Every structure is written in C-alpha cells, then in structure tokens.
Amino acid sequence: MIGRLNHVAIVVPDLTAAAALYSGTLGADVSEPLDLPEHGVTTVFVNLPNTKIELLHPLGEGSTIAKFLEKNPSGGMHHVCYEVDDITAARDKMIADGARILGDGEPKIGAHGKPVLFLHPKDFCGTLVELEQV
C-alpha cells in the first residue's frame, strides 16, 4: 500500500540557520520557507536526488510541534512521510487494522498541496508516520 519515502521531517530551533547549514555546508537545494498555519508550522524542504528533508519550525502559539521542541531543544527527527495512491482507502485500511489516525481522521492539505494524514507513533514502532496522497 505505501509507496516511496516522500520525506523525513526534522524539527529545528532556528529555521534560517538550519536552511543555511543544508544549503551552504551540505550544498543542497533548499526551498523558501512556507508558513502552514493550519498545521502550526513553517517548513523548508531540502531537495535531494531520491527524497526530501523537511525542516520544521513552530508557527504560532498553538503549534503542533512546540512541545516537541521544548522536550528536544536542539531539535530532532519528527516524522517520516510515505506516499499512497488513495489517502481515503489507506485511512480506512489503517483503521480496519487497528491503527489510530491523529486529529479528526479527515485528510488535511499538507505542504505539497496534497491530502495528508498522520498515524499514531505508538502504532508504528514509536515513529510518527505521515501519509501523503500522490
């Protein structure tokens, strides 16, 4: 059911410094910052030949990642994102198999302008999983 790895997300305490590290020190192609108020994050994508790295920084007081950064002040890996052909079918299969969908269970539009869902980390070996419809 899952397709290719779309990206690995890393929460960072300083988005500008992290983007400069990836673009300058590592020589990667780095996107401009994009605010996603619905998700409470500002994101930058590091484009690699085989996938992407998503750098995340809290946006607003209700940010979904603010507590993560409080517990991990240096930042750290937040989630992995896998592609799926049909997000509704994937969600229904996950629920039928006993996996928990975070939020209200309805897909939201993610940073790539495509529907996404997040799966509870306790159901996936301690890793927060994002599914993105391609």
Looking at the annotation, which residues are catalytic?
A: 130
Cα–Cα distance measured from residue 23 to residue 125, given in angstroms and rounded to the nearest whole number: 32
Q: Residue holding tokens 């994101």?
A: 43
| Long-range contact set of residues 21-24: C-beta below 8 Å, sequence gap at least 24 | 22/46, 22/53, 22/55
In angstroms, rounded to a whole number, what is the distance separating the alpha carbons of residues 103 and 53? 24
Q: Token match 């690699």: residue?
A: 48
